Structure 1
Amino acid sequence: MTDAPKPRKTHAAKGKTPAGADAPARKPVSALTGRLHKLGIYNDADMLLHLPMRYEDETRVVSIREAAPGLPAQIEAEVEHAEITFKPRRQLVAKLRDDSGVIYLRFLNFYPAMQKLLEPGRRVRAFGEVRSGFWGEEMIHPRVLAVTEGEALPQSLTPIYPATAGLAQAALRKLVLRAFERSSLVDFLPEALRKSLRLAGWERSLRFLHQPPPEASQSALEERSHPAWRRVKFDELLTQQIQLRRAYIERRAHAAASLPAQGRLPAQLIAALPFALTGAQARAVDEIARDLAQAYPMQRLLQGDVGSGKTIVAALAMLQAAENGLQAALMAPTEILAEQHYRKLDQWLTPLGIGVAWLSGSQKKKERAAMLEKIARGEALLAVGTHALIEDTVGLEKLGLAVVDEQHRFGVRQRLALREKVAGRLPHMLMMSATPIPRTLAMSYMADLDVSVLDELPPGRTPIVTKLVADSRREEVIERVRDACREGRQAYWVCPLIEESETLQLQTAVETYETLAAELAELRVGLVHGRLKPAEKAEVMEAFLRNETQVLVATTVIEVGVDVPNASLMVIEHAERFGLAQLHQLRGRVGRGAAASTCVLVYAQPLSQNGRERLKAIFETTDGFEIARRDLQLRGPGEFIGARQSGVPLLRYADLEADVDLIEVAKQAAEELQARYPEAADALLRRWYGGRAELLKA
């Protein structure tokens, strides 16, 4: 690394944090508090971690003649003339001259101070992109500074920071310099560890990124591949891992009911099933059974592709709670999914003498009261429902296991409310996700959870063929639907996702339904969407399940939880508007029976680059884990982790694809710091998260 301005001497952590090491960094940084808070800056430590997104080179001046069109340049010249013109619109135009030629500066928005700065005879430096204009070479809205002849140039590249309205770059640079003066930049990494990982020093890296010397590679800085960036990204990942590790340990300090596996009820269910468990399911069942036997709460994520059989794994875990005399609850985000779980569990478990209760927001008072009574009297050891389960009237005082399906769709508070039904101890928690989580994401954001993976599909699942069809061939697609239904099969027709307006989406669904009902007059066409009452939704789905309806026109309410083995054709209109995970989930609604299944993705042209990438990925593979990896590349981690994070912010600088090697190393280093240098671990948490470093609660 090229040397940055010389740092003050600091000492590596030796198991103890120097007294007050980061104390000065806790002071407010500025009177511009509100604007800084918008940028996530609350103190000097935050200010120093607010790193530049790019740089400009003001360390050298070129003559006007040397300034190349289309590129940024800095010139130094004398103002020859300046005036406000009104054609074609009001603007300030200044003419500058040096020994080599003339250039014009144009300002469409300006203040009196700018007019004063550009008085004729004044010497100025202007930095901006040179382009050809009406009068000749010009710069539009360049940065202008008054100078004296021979005035020294900056000694480092000029950082350009992420900013917000009312907070100028010059103000941010001053605040950074002030933060450097007031902060103690102790390197909390033990020196032996830092050297073994070949990482640059902390202060040196930070100063380098804020004030890189002129010879530094701008591309390495802006692509974040420079060694200084590597150090920052490592510390960010390390701090995240420390926090997650502490959350993991903190959970294990709580008490939970020990639910040892007795094996009788699970064995009876497995014997009654018309299928054998896959190797992955059997492995997950064993992992969960061992966790449930512990006297601390299980916190396990069960993830698997569409159709990998998560429900039976959850059912066997719930039986383990039941045979220990405790309740189990399964919470799902939509009524369609929750009701499907209820039917399946009722069918499997009632013959074993285990009562199952069903709770939803749309239930009639009488039905709801009967279900609550069933739970209260202990007739139902299993409760299934939507977030209706977490209402105060639902008595789950003997809750031993809480199962949350599609966990990323629930907020932290909702999951906590389910867990807090029990006084004096915590229930075991099993979270399920049908959106496979890429390995790097699981290693970073899910590091506080134990993870079970269902990475094989049950035998008998037919492969799904995916076809891409332009919307100009819509008639052919309708004909394809007709043919499938004539053969006794059924089809879904999913309407486009219109994010801006639920009303528009509903209108599109209704119009599509009317069109298909007219064109496929010999078939029965159904319609299901989010605005239907739950009872109406259930009625439509029942008719489709019984094959009384051959074609189901739907919005994305059918994305998860719909299981109709006879449906072998899925048509998704305007597929380019959907995310990869959604397309994969929708496609997984078919291929559930013995018939060959097809998913037709109808797209409108022209396709955006992003839309093309998504359709290419879904066309090329049906492997949910590979799709998840590509989705992570396209969208970043936010969608995957949902609202589960209460204490871990999204990574600002580390990249889960590019920095996978650092994640592995940070995970190991976090354990070492936690065990041998706890004070250094504390100091890192303060540096990166300040007072906002609350541990994960859910």
Structure 2
Amino acid sequence: MAAEDQSASVEIENEQPASTHAGLAGNTSSPATKAKKSSSKKPTPVKAALSPAAKASEKLAKLGLRKDMDFVLHLPMRYEDETEIVSMRDAAMRGGSTAQVEGLVTECDIQYRPRRQLVVTIADDTGQVVMRFLNFYGNQTKQMAVGVRVRARGELRHGFFGAEMVHPHYKIVNEGAPLATALTPVYPSGEGVPQALLRKAIANAMTRVNWRDTLSDARLAALNLQGFETSIRTLHNPPPDVDQYSLMEREHPAWERMKFDELLAQQLSLKRAQITRRSKGANALPVIGELSNAFLLNLPFSLTGAQEKVLAEIRIDLRQEFPMQRLLQGDVGSGKTIVAALAAAQAIDNGFQAALMAPTEILAEQHFRKIAAWLEPLGVKTAWLTGSLKKKEKEAANALISSGEAQLVIGTHALIQDTVQFKKLGLVIVDEQHRFGVSQRLNLANKTEAGKVPHQLMMSATPIPRTLAMTYYADLEVSVIDELPPGRTPIVTRVIDQNRRDEVIARVQAAGQEGKQVYWVCPLIEESETLQLQTATDTHAMLVAALPELNVGLVHGRLKPAEKQTVMGAFIRNESQVLVATTVIEVGVDVPNASLMVIEHAERFGLSQLHQLRGRVGRGAAASVCLLMYQGPLGGTAKQRLATMRESSDGFEIARKDLELRGPGEFLGARQSGEAMLRFANLETDQWLVEKARNLADDLLKNDPITVAAHLERWLGYKEEFLRV
């Protein structure tokens, strides 16, 4: 009937927002309070009043609901069972669970202790339940007057006056009013968007939307999936005989279809973005010349088999006339930097510049010191560019870059500033790529000659589980260094209660006196009233007092870059034996003599971060130890994290567990530019769908561009743009 790009019109009635849901939309003050506040404000310019429908449309747009299909695909996050009434006596016996009760109002009062609240008591033949509203409208006292029949649903808990519900969903009903015959959907919402409005808007959109299935009957049969319209209608309006468990657990065939469609849209979009990038021209870098050969010959060690494998993959990519888009991942200490330096050498051999961008100055400086030490003796001119440089230093670096005299440029976000212009940029290397947004990486990639795109190598020391890489990095080629260089000593990890701090300090003292060095990592810089954690500054003062014979340094994110460099330089030269630090030392710091790490409040860190921190030790010949100090009692997730760290040193296993505990959104950082790529599929439980979606995406892109366009329009629409960079 209607095209899928049709904007949805919202129809709403003039109704009291509290008629079905009390305290909706997070109101934190009464109308009277709001009026009082507004009277004290300065006059503001008068704006044209919006109609109720326009206001509703504006609020819905903030949820990303603009077109009919947006509403249709705004699927329930859960369901409520309003199909039965429970007696108040039985409900009270179910304390802590959700129930629906019905009764007559026996009391309705506004109380002021401990704060202003509306307290309504309803009763049936078996008992009574108190409904408590901390946020409410004045007309609710009239609405729920004594003698009115109310049907309420919420979580029962035992309060001071017996069974009570706080902010239950309720409605005024007549005796014998019919019950719902199926589960009631509850949708993701926002401020000022009640469920009633969402349900009505979705129902309206479903009368207008184009229901044509983007997948043919033959494909659906081959994939054992049900139709699009059938699935959508089941999810929005579950039939009475639906399998409630499978629906609520998202295992119902209707959910499987939605998950598959979502995964297919993601695969199509990322793979199409890859095809688009490959259609752009890049400068081929075929020569493995004198610099590359001399570099390898001068290395004091041999590459591992894994390093040689990924280097061969990168060299093949760099020979092509379309831009390389490769993710190089490997565990902590696996030797990614040497591979990146060899890729840069290949670009320089072909007469082009290479740029390496890191997220922090400490990491950027680490790369600069190491790579410059390898390449400058071979005649390579390097440049260093960060935001902390003085104006003259920046101007000098920019001159070297724009003239092409600087063959290798290493720095931070400063590299993407408008004032930085490369003469002949052939390769971009981005370290810890998940810390940069898509637009930041794109800005650096655009700093080349018109019509050409530089090759890109993105590095990550956070190993990415296979299913996650297949899903979120379908547009990239992935190389994995799955082997550590010989000579790396295993790290023993111990979990220890902070009450044994004195024992830990004694161990630090012994290590320092033996000529070894120690990291002591804290999660905060200053005192926090909410978290009450030991801070880096306090810990530094404590260790200085406890270890007078040792030099104790302190580094954190609020130090000026020059101060950080001074502190880190002293630690690298073994002029200080203990370094108290925040997570600024998480990546890139390489001090082979450091063999003991203490992580304060380890229960507050994520798994990947703990693994990264632990990787700062074990880089020399000495046996290394990581002590994870925690403050009890520990929650279930914290226990799992610490147990995983104690039992495993395999970065890929740790990453898999981290994904399981945190989910892909937090795990991946800034790649998505703020847009959630998956709303329905779960990569832990739906791996079998990923393979199917991936295979169909390849087939459709080769053979059916019309279906590709229709499916992407339905599922992504305007949201596909951020995946194309």
In 2 relative to 1, CA 155–568 (structure 1 residues): closer, same or farther, beyond 3 Å?
same
Q: Which has the higher contact order (CA 8 A, sep 6+)?
A: 1
Give the 3-state SS of the residue equivalent to 2:109 in structure 1.
strand
**Per-residue deviation, 1:414:** 2.2
After superposition, residues 205-604 of structure 1 pair within 5 angstroms as 205-424=231-450, 425-497=452-524, 508-604=535-631
Quick check: 1:682 aligned with 2:709? yes
Give the 3-state SS of the residue equivalent to 2:430 in structure 1.
strand
Q: Is the 8 A contact 1:468 1:601 kept in 2?
A: yes
Aligned match for 1:200, one of 226, 232, 236: 226
Deviations 1:346-380 (A, max 9, x none): 11112222222222222244444443444344433
Q: Is the 8 A contact 1:28 1:44 kept in 2?
A: no
**Per-residue deviation, 1:480:** 0.8
**Per-residue deviation, 1:330:** 0.8
Deviations 1:211-236 (A, max 9, x none): 11233233322221111111111111
**Per-residue deviation, 1:466:** 0.6
Aligned match for 2:65, one of 37, 41, 58: 41
Q: Distance in 2 between matches of 1:140 and 1:353?
A: 73
Instruction: Name the counterpart of 2:4.
Output: 22
Q: Is the 8 A contact 1:69 1:129 kept in 2?
A: no
In 2 relative to 1, CA 154–333 (structure 1 residues): closer, same or farther, beyond 3 Å?
same
Q: Is the 8 A contact 2:524 2:536 kept in 1?
A: no
Instruction: Name the counterpart of 1:668.
Output: 695
Worse-superposed segment, 678-687 or 426-435: 678-687
Worse-superposed segment, 373-382 or 131-140: 131-140
Q: If the length of structure 1 is used for normalisation, what is the TM-score? A: 0.90
Deviations 1:595-621 (A, max 9, x none): 111111111111222222211111111
**Per-residue deviation, 1:144:** 3.9
In 2 relative to 1, CA 190–551 (structure 1 residues): closer, same or farther, beyond 3 Å?
same
**Per-residue deviation, 1:292:** 0.7
Q: Is the 8 A contact 2:131 2:165 kept in 1?
A: yes
In 2 relative to 1, CA 383–135 (structure 1 residues): closer, same or farther, beyond 3 Å?
closer
Instruction: Name the counterpart of 2:29.
Output: none
Deviations 1:446-488 (A, max 9, x none): 1111111111101111111111111111111111112112222
Q: Is the 8 A contact 1:55 1:157 kept in 2?
A: yes
Worse-superposed segment, 276-285 or 350-359: 350-359
In 2 relative to 1, CA 363–164 (structure 1 residues): closer, same or farther, beyond 3 Å?
closer
Match for 1:508: what amino acid? Answer: T
Match for 1:329: what amino acid? Answer: A
Give the 3-state SS of the residue equivalent to 1:213 in structure 2.
coil
Q: Is the 8 A contact 1:493 1:551 kept in 2?
A: yes
Q: If the length of structure 2 is used for normalisation, what is the TM-score? A: 0.87
Give the 3-state SS of the residue equivalent to 1:642 in structure 2.
helix
Deviations 1:612-642 (A, max 9, x none): 2211111111111111111111111123332
Quick check: 1:108 aligned with 2:138? no
In 2 relative to 1, CA 419–205 (structure 1 residues): closer, same or farther, beyond 3 Å?
same
> What fraction of aligned residue pairs are identical, expressed as a percent?
58
Match for 1:256: what amino acid? Answer: A
In 2 relative to 1, CA 602–64 (structure 1 residues): closer, same or farther, beyond 3 Å?
closer
Instruction: Name the counterpart of 2:48.
Output: none
Q: Is the 8 A contact 2:517 2:594 kept in 1?
A: yes
Give the 3-state SS of the residue equivalent to 1:432 in structure 2.
strand
Q: Is the 8 A contact 1:437 1:640 kept in 2?
A: no
Give the 3-state SS of the residue equivalent to 1:466 in structure 2.
strand
**Per-residue deviation, 1:431:** 0.7
Q: Is the 8 A contact 1:25 1:179 kept in 2?
A: no
Q: Distance in 2 between matches of 1:325 and 1:476?
A: 57
Worse-superposed segment, 139-148 or 527-536: 139-148
Q: Distance in 2 between matches of 1:231 and 1:361?
A: 49
In 2 relative to 1, CA 332–504 (structure 1 residues): closer, same or farther, beyond 3 Å?
farther
In 2 relative to 1, CA 548–198 (structure 1 residues): closer, same or farther, beyond 3 Å?
same
Q: Is the 8 A contact 1:673 1:681 kept in 2?
A: yes
Match for 2:69: what amino acid? Answer: A
Q: Distance in 1 between matches of 2:474 and 2:581?
A: 37
Give the 3-state SS of the residue equivalent to 1:249 in structure 2.
helix
Quick check: 1:57 aligned with 2:81? yes
Q: Is the 8 A contact 1:647 1:695 kept in 2?
A: no
Count residues in correspondence: 677
Deviations 1:18-52 (A, max 9, x none): x9652446656863123223333222212122222
Q: Is the 8 A contact 2:493 2:628 kept in 1?
A: yes
Give the 3-state SS of the residue equivalent to 1:421 in structure 2.
coil
Q: Distance in 1 between matches of 2:199 and 2:9?
A: 18
In 2 relative to 1, CA 499–445 (structure 1 residues): closer, same or farther, beyond 3 Å?
farther
Q: Distance in 2 between matches of 1:418 and 1:666?
A: 32
